[in-house]
Amino acid sequence: MRIQNHLFNFKVFAVRMAVFGLSLILLKVQAAEPFPAQWGSPPEIQTQDYVELPAGYGHGSSTLAKWITANLNRDKITAGQPEPARAAALYENNFEQAEAGKLPDDFMALAGDFTVKRDGTNQFLELPGSPLDSFAVQFGPTESAEVAVSARILSTAKGRRTPTFGVGLGGVAGYKLQIAPGKKSLELLKDQEVKTSVPFDWQSGTWTQLRLQIHKLKADEWKIQGKAWAPGAAEPKTWTVAFDEKEEPVAGRASVLGSPFAGTAVWFDDLRVERISEK
């Protein structure tokens, strides 16, 4: 009798496990509804909760739900609007044609083990989460003024630790636009000196767009301008942060930079350098 009870309990357990496994498969299929290509890849690092996703995309984490909502809102903003005119690129790289596991030949790493990585169908440049230091890599032509650089950057916080990352113009000692989540600010720097900053609410685990430019106003006067915006939001029409420069900018290459102080990787994508026409 005892043996029969054990056999019965084992069969019940096996059935429950089979049902549980089937449920996981069904949930995986349900959450595997393809997203629009223009959204890019979903966040790689997500919370462990489980919620209903917007727009009939099944179920998943709240991180994924926020990412879907942000992209849906962005699509609403841009629906029916013509694409804004863009200046001809002096340089651009989305890494789709780059060899994974290597740094492209036209990049110059000043420090850091930058390599091309893949997440789903998307390729990007990665700075690993260790060592905990500051690193940068340069790309594009050597320019001094009337030039802009832009990039999408993603990283994650870990507990109270956060990374710092940004874009640069004018070489090693040039100008930098960086997000400093630990200070909840967007900063403009000349070399290592913070010239000005504004509050900025960074979203961990999502792509953030940054744009920095050097604009000549008149003889012996330049304007250094930057902006950053969250995924799903429209690009700000005005510059978020800026300062006046009296010294002639030194010519140098554009860069992306990161300090992975959270111990998590920093991803860079859609790098672009262009001539500006603003007068």
Dump pLDDT digits (tens) for 54-111: 887 888 887 787 778 777 766 665 454 444 456 779 999 999 999 999 999 999 998 8
3-state SS assignment for residue 25: helix
SS3 197: strand
Residue 34 has pLDDT above 80, yes or no: no
Both structure tokens of 229? 């915006």
Contact 71, 245 (CB under 8 A): no
- More reliable by pLDDT, 34 or 192: 192
For residue 21, pLDDT beyond 50: no
Domain 90-275, architecture per CATH: Sandwich (2.60)
Whether residue 221 is predicted with pLDDT greater than 90 in this model: the reply is yes
Task: List the domain boundaries for the chain.
Answer: 2-78, 90-275
Report d(CA 79, CA 73) in Å as an integer: 10
Least confident range from 130-134, 160-164, 190-194: namely: 130-134
Query: Which tops the pLDDT comparison, 49 or 197?
Result: 197
Question: What is d(CA 127, CA 272) in angstroms, rounded to the nearest whole number?
Answer: 18
The per-residue pLDDT for 19 is 45
CB 177 within 8 A of CB 226: yes
Q: What residues have CB less than 8 Å from 6, skipping those under 6 apart?
A: none
Q: Which two tokens stand for residue 113?
A: 């083990």
Predicted pLDDT at 28: 43
| Largest distance between two CA atoms of the chain | 99
The C-alpha atoms of residue 214 and residue 169 are separated, in whole angstroms, by 8
Name the least confident of 50-59, 120-129, 209-218: 50-59
206, β-bridge pairs: none
